[in-house]
Amino acid sequence: MNNLLAQGKALVINTWRRHSLWRLSLSIAIMLWLAVAVALFTIYQLSIQPLIQSRQQILLQHAQQLQSVSEANAPSALPDLLDDTLYDPHGIITVLRSDTSEIYGSLNHFPSTLPSCPTLKPFPVVRGNSGNLSLLEGCQFEMDGYSVLVATDSEYLWQVRENFENAAIVVLICAFFIALIPSWIIRRKMKSQLSGIHSVVSQIEKGRFGGRIQTNNSHDEWDNIAHYINAMLDEIESSITQIQGVTDAVAHDLRTPLTRIKNRLSTLESGAEHTHQTDEQITQIQQEFDDLLQTFNAMLELSKLENIGDKSQFVDLDLSRIIQDAAELAEAQLEEKQQTLSIDVSPVVMKGEPSLLFRLIYNLLDNAYKYCPNQAHVSIQLSQDALIIKDNGPGVPKDQQQKIMQRLYRADKSRNTPGHGLGLALVAVVAKLHEMDIDISFSDSIQEAGLKIVFHIPNTKG
């Protein structure tokens, strides 16, 4: 038996420690039960208890009146002052007992165990000739050779209090189990939400990053948490996708130059004499290595920019002036392909790092120069809330528009174009550093041609 009790105790303790939802449910039930208990206690104190105290107060006042009467009359006249009926208008019973043990009043028995007034005590008596037992409450005191008993019939009050106590016990027991219902509903709701989170986390542990927590658009606390977790998972999935894309891009882009370097070194090893062709091959090898170093240096620079958290170097600047400077530098390059550039800007003051924003604008113009045909048109528009750069070139397929900002990502048709696939990645990093959201679309949505990039500018001034 003791072993069973010990095991049950251990089970309850382990359940209490391990299951926070169980603790929360029980805590809620206990709090609701305590609220009902406090309400019942308050009702008792404000209703039944005042009635009991009122009867006791009337009884004590009657005892004081008897003492006043005895002082104004002869002691032998006291028995004549008593009411021969069981109850007077106030429901008070008065009994005298003389020194010779004679009893005057409505009772034929004088309890000897009653306390002295003002302390009251209940005692039973037989009422009349019916033989029914009644419960009275009273006290006694000495007065001019008599022992005086004053009492009142409080049986109905005691019965009301007993009924109330019994009802309160039933209500408290029922209230506890009823209180378990909302706590069970809350526990079920929380368990359902946590199960959804656990299911998604389990999928992520297995390498499946596509799972998301279901939301019901109720905008409650759980729905908001689900949105935050889903947003975090979107970011994680995007980062992992980019990492995988970078790996594929590195393997694809570095395989070709490394293969060329290997072939040229093999040619040099097989050559017997140093010729002009040998010098050209050595120069080409050096150029290939320079391109590889530039690629890795650019990737290191991007990683450094992504890890910048301190914006203390940001200053107030006019973005329109930076756009004018970048456009002036790019115009000579655009003219080589007879490409035109139009600028429609208004002063926009914001906090930022001037050199990074300059590179953002220049990289976008350089990208338009590389991938737009001759005589293409590029435009820059700047307002208080957005920077828009668009062209009328071939554009980017819709399924690739969100990928062009990834590291080393290059569309198939741009593989033969000089570059490292890091220019737009730098643009994305700089925009994120300046808290600018990016939207990419076609500049001509009907023909699905041209490229349009919109930067949403936060917290502009001036």
Q: Does position 454 have pLDDT exceeding 90, yes or no? A: yes
Looking at residue 388, its pLDDT comes to 93
Asked, for residue 449, whether it belongs to a domain, the answer is yes
Asked, for residue 248, whether it belongs to a domain, the answer is yes
Give the residue from 290, 305, 320 where a domain finishes: 305
Burial 392-427 (b: 16+ CB within 10 A, else e): bbebbeeeebebbbbbbbbeeebeeeebbbbbbbbb
CB atoms within 10 A of CB 391: 26
Residues 64 and 173 in one domain: no
Q: Are 146 and 78 in contact (CB under 8 A)?
A: yes
- Provide the β-strand partners of residue 390: 379, 452
d(CA 152, CA 300): 98
d(CA 44, CA 46): 6
Domain that holds residue 353: 308-456
Asked, for residue 264, whether it belongs to a domain, the answer is yes
- Which helix (H) or strand (E) segment holds residue 317: the answer is strand 315-318
Contacts of 322 (CB under 8 A, 6+ apart): 354, 357, 358, 361
Quote the number of domains for the chain. Answer: 4
Burial 84-101 (b: 16+ CB within 10 A, else e): eeeeeeeebbbbbbeeee
Looking at residue 324, its pLDDT comes to 93
Asked, for residue 415, whether it belongs to a domain, the answer is yes
Asked, for residue 436, whether it belongs to a domain, the answer is yes
Average the pLDDT over 162-176 and give the result: 86
Considering 130-139, 223-232, 271-280, the range whose residues carry the highest mean pLDDT is 223-232
Token pair for residue 256?
């070709």
Look over the chain and give the mean of its residue pLDDT values, rounded to a whole number.
75
Q: Does position 398 have pLDDT exceeding 80, yes or no? A: yes
Asked, for residue 295, whether it belongs to a domain, the answer is yes
Average the pLDDT over 213-230 and give the result: 72
Q: Does position 67 have pLDDT exceeding 90, yes or no? A: no
224-252: pLDDT as tens digits: 777 777 787 777 777 777 666 665 566 56
Q: Does position 90 have pLDDT exceeding 70, yes or no? A: no
DSSP string computed for 115-162: PBTT--EEEEEEETTTTEEEEEEEEEEEETTEEEEEEEE-HHHHHHHH
Residues 82 and 9 in one domain: no
Looking at residue 453, its pLDDT comes to 92
Looking at residue 19, its pLDDT comes to 55
Give the residue from 153, 183, 206 where a domain finishes: 153
Considering 68-72, 138-142, 321-325, the range whose residues carry the highest mean pLDDT is 321-325
Please report the beta strands in 370-456, taking only residues with DSSP state E, as ranges in sequence order.
377-382, 386-391, 437-441, 452-456
- For residue 200, give the nearest of 164, 232, 170 by alpha carbon: 232
Residues 300 and 345 in one domain: no
Give the residue from 252, 286, 305 where a domain finishes: 305
Q: Which residue has the higher pLDDT, 392 or 63?
A: 392
Residues 13 and 116 in one domain: no
Asked, for residue 116, whether it belongs to a domain, the answer is yes
Asked, for residue 212, whether it belongs to a domain, the answer is no
State whether residue 387 is helix, strand or coil. strand
CA end-to-end distance (rounded Å), the chain: 82
Residues 171 and 126 in one domain: no
283-313: pLDDT as tens digits: 777 777 666 666 666 666 666 666 665 677 7
Residues 347 and 406 in one domain: yes
Q: Which residue has the higher pLDDT, 131 or 104?
A: 104
Residues 324 and 418 in one domain: yes
Phi, psi values for residue 112, rounded to 5°: -90, -10
Looking at residue 9, its pLDDT comes to 60
Q: Which residue has the tokens 């209490």?
A: 16
The fraction of the chain above a pLDDT of 70, given in percent, is 67
Looking at residue 86, its pLDDT comes to 36
Instruction: Write the burial class of residue 204 (CB in 10 Å: 0-12 exposed, 13-18 middle, 19+ buried).
Output: middle
Q: Are 319 and 352 in contact (CB under 8 A)?
A: yes
Average the pLDDT over 306-326 and give the result: 81
